[in-house]
Structure 1
Amino acid sequence: MLSTVRTQLLAMRARDEQVRTELAADGSLFEGYHPRMEEVHRVSAQELRSVIQEHGWPDEELVGPEGAEAAWLVAQHSIGEPDFMRHCRTLLDEASFLGRVPRWQFAYIDDRIRVFEGKPQRFGTQVDLRPEGPEVHELEDSAQVDAWRKDAGLPPIAVVIARAQADPCPSPEEHATKQAAGLLWRRQVGWIE
């Protein structure tokens, strides 16, 4: 049974990566939340919801490190379902506290949810690529962030910024359009009022 759940989770990740790669190749991935990607995320979230209902959070003991990371990826990408993503965050917090998944999995989903909600992030995993270069979304405590990152098994925040420097920057118009569309989407989905 465990190998079946692991196989299911790995298939979800593979489907996500395949569609992402196809959409990135033609550039349409970067033009808002593409309907094909949204559908993959919705279907995968439903499948993960079923796994959780039957087995609890699919941690490393249940599905191995690869399976657990695939479950995290599906949760991380369930952005169209705020309540489900928040539930996954709670489960990942518990599982990582017990050492059943790496703490970085909780860090990423916690930060992503906080940014979607318009709140400061703790771990600095979410970066905004701006016309003038990458900028870490607002931090809860910039003096504490590297200690929190270290506890989660993540490199210092300076490493995140250095890596993001290689990404091409959008024009001011592209950035403004993306920000406005993102705000509208977060309201429509229910991340913010």
Structure 2
Amino acid sequence: MNAIEPQRPDLARELIARATQSAARRSRRMRNRLNGVEVGHDRHADHVDAKVLRRILAEHDWPGHRLVGLDAARAAWSLALHADEDPDLQRAATTLLKRAVQDGDAPAPHWAHLQDRTLANSGLPQEFGTQQVLNAAGVQLCPVRDPDSLDERRSSVGLPPIADALERVRRRLASANLVDDVATVVLAEVA
């Protein structure tokens, strides 16, 4: 996937701005640095982000590299990945993202992450092991279908072996000082 000038730089700017703000909100929530009013405002902002992404998907299909560029395509993926309050949006985005991957307009690891998140949010075992839970026992993998062939499936979509991915998540959490006195938090491997 070559770095080319996006067809819709206006959408690119909007997606990047929304994903950047969303990441900042998630970071504050993970660190429990919000009061009740701020949590409400954040949930509203998340809802607005989901609405905007839904509109973009309806008007343009998946906003891949060709339409919005590499950074904005990643931003769209991040917004879809974290739209946990809108499972219909996540399922639709998963389908559109898979087609974009097949067309060479999006990276396969992004689809794998979104597919796993959608499955986990539906109470089903994930396919690629990208979703983990952080609790008092540490980082634990959410349920996975057929764990014996997990690394093979991960390799098929360009993901590293699960042991390497889990170690990277543990290091990231330790460096962010998120492992002490933590409630249960759902995590996603960074792609």
TM-score of the superposition, structure 2-length normalised? 0.80
Partner of 2:90: 85
**Does the 8 A contact of 2:125 with 2:142 survive in 1?**
yes
Q: Distance in 2 between matches of 1:25 and 1:84?
A: 27
Structure 1: unaligned runs, 5 residues or longer: 180-193
> Which residues of 2 match residues 71-150 of structure 1 at below 5 A?
71-150=76-155
RMSD of aligned C-alpha atoms?
Answer: 2.5
Which structure carries more helix by proportion?
1
Q: 1:161 to 1:170 in 2, by over 3 A?
A: farther
Query: C-alpha distance in 2, partners of 1:69/1:114?
Result: 20
SS at match of 2:69: helix
- Residue type at the aligned position of 2:41: R
Unpaired stretches in structure 2, ≥5 consecutive residues: 1-6, 174-178, 187-191
2:17 to 4, 11, 15: 11
2:24 is equivalent to residue 37 of structure 1: no
Instruction: Report the TM-score when normalising by structure 1.
Output: 0.79
Question: How far 1:160 sits from its partner (Å)?
Answer: 2.1
Larger RCO (CA within 8 A; separation ≥ 6): 2
Aligned-pair identity in percent equals 30
8 Å Cα contact 1:7-1:67 kept in structure 2: yes
* Alignment-mate amino acid for residue 17 of structure 1: A
Cα distance, 1:132 vs. partner?
Answer: 2.5
Residues matched between the structures, number:
173
